[in-house]
Amino acid sequence: SHWRKVSIINRIFTKTIMTTITNNSDTMSEDNQRISQPTMTRPSLIADLRRELPNVPARWNINDASLRPVPPLYPSLNPRCTVFVGNTMPSVVAVRISECLRKQSIAVEFDDESHTATCMTMDRVHFTIHLYRGAISEDGTKKPDFSHGVIVECMRVRGDAIPFHYTVRAILRAAKGVSDGANIRRFKSPMEVPAVARPSLLPRKRKDTAGLMTGLEDALVLLKKDRICAQRLGMERLVMLTDEDTSGIEIAVHTSKAVIGEGSSESATEGASTWILTLIEDRIAPGEVLETLSEKNDSSNISVVEESTVSSDYSTLPELQDIYHGGVLRALAMRAFGNALSVLSKYESESLRSILSYKSQLVSESFLEALVEDLAGASRPPGIAAGTRLASSHEAALAAKCLSILAQYSEAATKILIPSKQDKQPVLDALDRARNVGLASNVFLQQESEQAFFALAKQNHAS
């Protein structure tokens, strides 16, 4: 009986130990999951400080043991878009790349299982980043051993090659640990359009104002053409003409007034403002006639425009069947409009206040509602925004910037955005969510949404 008691005690003791080990392992696995997925637990700007925000993935989480080598029969890697990072863990390389994408303000969607990142720049350049494990050497004399490192490959899917290579160079430098991922280009802002040769950055003075509208008129000529490349060049020209660092202060101010509907040349002013405001508010180009969804079998949620509502000045334009092209045009229109408001608020603040007092479309409820809807693009993955006219995180940042300036210089816009005698403010909530997403993945979105939030909150307290 003595040995029977000892055996029973041993079984009970062993069972207790196994239960404890199982519980500890479950707890450790949960802790590892929390550690492997960094979250943003910063309190909201407008919510109760005791309530934490929902988890927002902020890093590319790669399992070091699951990284696969380059598949057999894979095409040769492009040396300009590929780098080998030796003596570094894959998870470290992934964190470096994700931090670089955040500082470069690039919209990204991570796939931890396939070790792929789908990216989109502000220029709507789509590319992917692949991580591969270095191959194990079978014969040290004939084949080098790359098993001690990680292969980083960037592959362009669609878009301009020049901004793609600018971005890839920064990503590859960050992957090797050479830089911290900050923007090393000569351009100050991600809103700027890269160019092979940029003009002087000094403000230029002109003796006459007759030639100030020449560039704007040339841009409108390109926009009215029936070729996709010409229309994009025309819209990019508007973006550069409203950029004071590219065109100079004098040209930027004149073009900015034309973009918002106030300029010396009536035809050029009406044409520029029509393109910009129609693309932003209605998400279509002037003269564009979209068929119904059933006839066109299109999954995009673009509103249908009746043929009778099209302006006769643009009746010869064909319909834009390329939804990707429409998304690029609208993104460029947002940039041109944001540049125009920024330049006028900086150099012609009183003129901007006066223009907004009688330009009802700029502060109308429908136009402001379109900008507020773009704030939802802050958390929209680039895979969903690609090929559509939906707003991405870049357009959400630009929308926040436009809302901030319009609210500061127009009382009518403030009353629409911040209704008085209401406990809940949907616009402030949307800006708060955009700020939290920007904290995790997009510096430009974080800065613009934060400035817009405090500007609108200040207007709310003042009223």
pLDDT digits (tens, 9 = 90+) for 390-411: 999 999 999 999 999 999 999 9
Tell me the C-alpha distance between 239 and 413, whole Å.
24
Pseudo-torsion of CA 454, 105, 362, 427, nearest 10°? -40
**Per mean pLDDT, which range of 57-61, 266-270, 379-383 is the poorest?**
266-270
Cα–Cα nearest to 269, from 254, 255, 257, 258 = 258
Cα–Cα nearest to 403, from 432, 369, 376 = 369
More confident residue, 134 or 48: 134
User: Which string of b and e fits 174-186 if b means at least 16 CB within 10 Å?
Assistant: bbbeebebebeee
DSSP secondary structure, 146-190, as one string: -TTEEEEEEEEEES-HHHHHHHHHHHHHHHHTSS-S---SS-SST
| Model confidence band, residue 101 (pLDDT cutoffs 50, 70, 90) | very high
Tell me the C-alpha distance between 21 and 423, whole Å.
51
pLDDT above 90: residue 168: yes
More confident residue, 430 or 264: 430
Tell me the C-alpha distance between 98 and 378, whole Å.
17
Sign of the CA dihedral running 201, 232, 337, 256: positive
What does the H/E/C string look like for 97-152?
HHHHHHHCCCEEEEECCCCEEEEECCCCCEEEEEEEECCCCCCCCCCCCCCCEEEE
pLDDT above 50: residue 208: no
Tell me the C-alpha distance between 260 and 275, whole Å.
10
Identity at 122, one-letter amino acid code: M
| Model confidence band, residue 29 (pLDDT cutoffs 50, 70, 90) | very low
**Per mean pLDDT, which range of 8-17, 215-224, 268-277 is the poorest?**
8-17
Q: Degrees (nearest 5) of the Cα angle 171, 104, 125?
A: 80
Kindly report, residue by residue over 155-164, the tens digit of the pLDDT.
999 999 999 9
Tell me the C-alpha distance between 262 and 327, whole Å.
26
**Mean pLDDT over residues 245-261, rounded?**
91
Which CA distances in Å does 90 have to 113, 233, 315? 13, 40, 55
More confident residue, 308 or 226: 226
pLDDT above 60: residue 312: no
Tell me the C-alpha distance between 379 and 387, whole Å.
17
Kindly report, residue by residue over 335-370, the tens digit of the pLDDT.
999 999 999 999 999 999 999 998 888 999 999 999
For the chain, what is the radius of gyration of the CA atoms? 27
pLDDT above 80: residue 18: no
Residue found under tokens 């125009």: 340
Instruction: Name the most confidently modeled range: 62-76, 125-139, 333-347.
Output: 333-347
Tell me the C-alpha distance between 40 and 53, whole Å.
7
Q: Please tell me the total number of residues recorded for the chain in this structure.
A: 463
Q: Degrees (nearest 5) of the Cα angle 447, 449, 450?
A: 65
pLDDT above 90: residue 238: yes
